């Protein structure tokens, strides 16, 4: 998918991982033999996505120093400084000029995942979606803020909003990866903090088409010490099968 741009969300404080994140931003925590955010860069590179924006807040200078301009991965990395955290919506809106030409991909900077991004992008285009969210089955979906999809994989509810009286919905959890049509940028408030999920809820109320693409491969959100340890063990024992680590 050459030509598609991506944004990595990396501005969070990582509070649940303290004291590990007191002096180090979460995306630079070491996972096996590389910083966490490098897994995301390698995944993007595998699918030809090499023009990347990363938003920064907590100890962002360390991320900039560690990754530089991206040339060592054959990528171009730019940075968006957020003196005040703008949230998932506000952070995206701040770099609208960078993202606005065509559909783009947004991915959380604190996940380790195995997924075929070409298939997600093809699905997004085939469905003519305003946005496509990568979703996974999880018995704890409600505790993450579940997403309701119908039998055609169209998203009908986010966090139980808006009201829905149609067919029973399957509950899924958001995996932190989405492909957006550039029109989503105009739905995000132009200034200040905003949550992209709230933007999506407003879009659902207006009948705009949002779809969910299933995730079957490995996934781990590095949000707590327990999940950080589990990811370390999964990588060490080969339970986390990540094909992009083998790419040249």
Displacement of CA 10 from its chain's centroid (Å): 10
Cα–Cα distance for residue pair 213/248, rounded to 1 Å = 28
In a domain, 240, yes or no: no
Span 135-153, average pLDDT: 84
Please report, for residues 162, 175, 190, 201, the alpha-carbon distance to residue 168 in angstroms, rounded to integers and kept in the order given.
Answer: 14, 22, 35, 18
Cis (ω within 30 of 0) for the bond into 154? no
In a domain, 13, yes or no: yes
Indicate the number of domains in the chain. Answer: 1
Per-residue confidence (pLDDT) for residue 217, from 0 to 100: 92
pLDDT band at 97 (very low <50, low <70, confident <90, very high): very high
Residue 128 reports pLDDT greater than 50: yes
In a domain, 246, yes or no: no
In a domain, 10, yes or no: yes
Cβ proximity of 220 and 234 under 8 Å: yes
pLDDT, averaged across the chain: 89
pLDDT band at 44 (very low <50, low <70, confident <90, very high): very high
Per-residue confidence (pLDDT) for residue 141, from 0 to 100: 65
Query: Which residue matches tokens 């132009």?
Result: 190
Cβ proximity of 100 and 16 under 8 Å: no
Per-residue confidence (pLDDT) for residue 58, from 0 to 100: 66
In a domain, 134, yes or no: yes
Displacement of CA 78 from its chain's centroid (Å): 17
Domain of 194, CATH number, reads 3.90.550.10
In a domain, 238, yes or no: no
In a domain, 54, yes or no: yes
Please, what is the angle between helix 36-46 and helix 60-67, to 10°?
A: 50
pLDDT tens, residue by residue, 192-213: 899 999 999 999 999 999 999 9
Per-residue confidence (pLDDT) for residue 248, from 0 to 100: 46
Q: Which of 55-69, 104-118, 167-181, 199-213 has the lowest mean pLDDT?
A: 55-69
Cα–Cα distance for residue pair 208/204, rounded to 1 Å = 5
Cα–Cα distance for residue pair 104/85, rounded to 1 Å = 22
In a domain, 227, yes or no: yes
DSSP 160: T
Give Rg (Cα) of the chain. 17
**Domain containing 117: what range?**
5-232
């Amino acid at each position: 998918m050459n030509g598609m741009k991506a944004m990595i969300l990396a501005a969070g404080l990582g509070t649940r991982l303290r004291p590990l994140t007191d002096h180090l931003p979460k995306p630079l925590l070491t996972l096996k033999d590389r910083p966490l955010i490098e897994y995301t860069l390698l995944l993007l590179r595998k699918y030809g996505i090499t023009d990347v924006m990363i938003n920064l807040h907590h100890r962002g200078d360390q991320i900039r120093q560690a990754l530089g301009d991206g040339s060592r991965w054959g990528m171009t990395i730019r940075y968006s400084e957020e003196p005040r955290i703008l949230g998932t919506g506000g952070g995206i809106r701040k770099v609208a000029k960078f993202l606005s030409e065509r559909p783009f991909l947004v991915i959380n900077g604190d996940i380790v995942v195995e997924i075929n991004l070409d298939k997600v992008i093809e699905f997004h285009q085939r469905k003519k979606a305003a946005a496509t969210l990568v979703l996974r089955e999880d018995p704890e979906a409600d505790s993450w803020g579940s997403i309701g999809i119908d039998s055609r994989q169209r998203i009908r509810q986010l966090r139980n909003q808006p009201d829905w009286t149609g067919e029973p919905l399957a509950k899924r959890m958001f995996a932190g990866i989405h492909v957006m049509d550039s029109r989503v940028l105009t739905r995000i408030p132009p200034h200040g903090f905003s949550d992209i999920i709230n933007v999506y809820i407003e879009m659902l109320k207006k009948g705009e088409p949002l779809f969910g693409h299933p995730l079957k491969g490995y996934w781990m959100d590095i949000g707590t010490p327990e999940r950080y340890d589990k990811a370390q063990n999964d990588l060490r024992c080969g339970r986390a099968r990540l094909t992009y680590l083998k790419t040249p």
